[in-house]
């Protein structure tokens, strides 16, 4: 275990992400003895107290959501901003995706319904994620069938929105998982997070996201106009894949007004899980 200490309180165990936001680290909070995620905000970002308080306020609205890991506090250490978030079991879905962990339909549907529940609650209270991807999904275990929860609600406030024509990468969201309308430079919508959630399921099933390039701007362009390949063509041997493809396709409509709401999508996935249960048993 590392002996690095933050704010005379957090003992850092490992760095799990280095990004335009800063560092995300697993740490032990000695005040509670809990494992947590600690986001150390990049020193180049200009973030005021009001924005940080709004991040905490967003998460306070989600305190009844069992499928959400809350960001609960912020502070400063050696002039650098930190935010503390719950960590649960602490295994990021992105870690398992990078390791090419094998998945099956029960795991995909369990993940989809967990994301659906989290977004249903967030939509009900008017909170958006806008950076939803495998790097913001935390598994309470070390395999893909473990319960999943979403972390990072409100973190988008620390970065500006993407603007067309921009050459810098300092905008919120990963291009591989950003909604089509955001990739076009438009405002996010009530179904933007649903689009991202569907991409997470697609990526887990296929082993990689549908649009990926060494040039983020190219990924943004493809995300804005191209349709992902059908999952039943990418993974034809996956049991129930045609039904899953139908559920994902509606959430990936480039027109946000044509996507279902989070609650409707959750119902679709729940009914699909029940329909396929005998076949998958």
- DSSP type of residue 175: G
pLDDT at residue 210, rounded to an integer: 94
pLDDT at residue 216, rounded to an integer: 87
Q: What is the pLDDT of residues 175-201, one digit of tens each?
A: 999 999 999 999 999 999 999 999 999
Cα 147 to the chain's mean position, in Å? 15
What is each CA distance from 119 to 7, 67, 122, 129, 192, in whole angstroms? 32, 9, 5, 9, 10
Instruction: Take residue 221 and report the two structure tokens written for it.
Output: 């362009």
Task: Please tell me whether the overall predicted TM-score, pTM, comes out greater than 0.85 for this model.
Answer: yes
Q: What is the pLDDT of residues 55-109, one digit of tens each?
A: 999 999 999 889 999 999 999 999 899 999 999 877 899 999 888 878 899 999 9
What is each CA distance from 262 to 137, 209, 214, 244, 269, in whole angstroms? 17, 21, 32, 16, 11
Those residues whose C-beta lies under 8 Å from the C-beta of residue 46, and which sit 6 or more positions away, are: none
Those residues whose C-beta lies under 8 Å from the C-beta of residue 47, and which sit 6 or more positions away, are: 41, 81, 158
How many angstroms separate the first and last alpha carbons of the chain?
Answer: 41
- The tens-digit pLDDT sequence of the chain (281 residues) is 456 899 999 999 999 999 999 999 999 999 999 999 999 999 999 999 999 999 999 999 999 889 999 999 999 999 899 999 999 877 899 999 888 878 899 999 999 999 999 999 999 999 999 999 999 999 998 888 899 999 999 999 999 988 887 677 889 999 999 999 999 999 999 999 999 999 999 999 999 999 988 888 899 999 999 999 999 999 999 999 999 999 999 999 999 999 999 999 999 999 999 998 887 76
Cα 206 to the chain's mean position, in Å? 17
CB 105 within 8 A of CB 87: no
pLDDT at residue 281, rounded to an integer: 66
Beta strands in 114-251 (DSSP E): 137-139, 148-151
Instruction: Take residue 47 and report the two structure tokens written for it.
Output: 């973030």
pLDDT at residue 2, rounded to an integer: 54
Q: What is the dihedral of CA 89, 93, 99, 101, to 10 degrees?
A: 90
pLDDT at residue 213, rounded to an integer: 82
- DSSP type of residue 23: E
Sheet architecture: strand order including 34-41: 5-6, 10-19, 22-29, 34-41, 80-86, 71-77
Q: What is the dihedral of CA 269, 270, 276, 277, to 10 degrees?
A: 150
CB 250 within 8 A of CB 259: yes
pLDDT at residue 9, rounded to an integer: 93
Round to whole Å and give the CA distance between 127 and 68: 12
Round to whole Å and give the CA distance between 91 and 135: 10
- DSSP type of residue 168: -
Pairing of strands 91-92, 148-151: unpaired
């Amino acid at each position: 275990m590392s002996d690095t200490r933050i704010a005379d309180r957090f003992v850092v165990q490992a760095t799990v992400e280095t990004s335009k936001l800063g560092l995300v680290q697993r740490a032990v909070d000695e005040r509670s003895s809990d494992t947590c995620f600690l986001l150390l905000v990049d020193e180049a970002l200009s973030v005021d107290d009001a924005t940080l308080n709004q991040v905490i306020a967003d998460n306070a609205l989600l305190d009844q959501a069992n499928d959400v890991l809350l960001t609960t506090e912020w502070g400063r250490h050696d002039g650098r901003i930190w935010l503390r978030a719950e960590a649960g079991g602490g295994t990021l879905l992105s870690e398992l995706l990078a390791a090419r962990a094998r998945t099956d339909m029960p795991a995909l549907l369990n993940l989809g319904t967990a994301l659906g529940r989290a977004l249903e609650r967030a939509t009900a209270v008017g909170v958006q994620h806008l950076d939803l991807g495998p790097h913001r999904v935390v598994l309470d275990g070390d395999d893909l069938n473990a319960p999943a929860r979403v972390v990072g609600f409100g973190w988008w406030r620390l970065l500006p929105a993407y603007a067309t024509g921009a050459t810098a990468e300092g905008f919120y969201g990963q291009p591989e998982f950003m909604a089509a309308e955001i990739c076009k430079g438009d405002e996010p919508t009530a179904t933007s997070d649903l689009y991202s959630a569907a991409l997470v399921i697609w990526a887990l099933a296929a082993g990689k996201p549908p649009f990926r390039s060494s040039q983020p701007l190219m990924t943004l362009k493809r995300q804005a106009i191209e349709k992902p390949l059908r999952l039943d063509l990418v993974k034809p041997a996956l049991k129930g894949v045609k039904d899953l493809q139908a559920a994902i396709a509606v959430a990936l409509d480039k027109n946000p007004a044509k996507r279902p709401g989070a609650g409707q999508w959750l119902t679709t996935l729940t009914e699909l899980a029940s329909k396929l249960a005998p076949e998958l048993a």
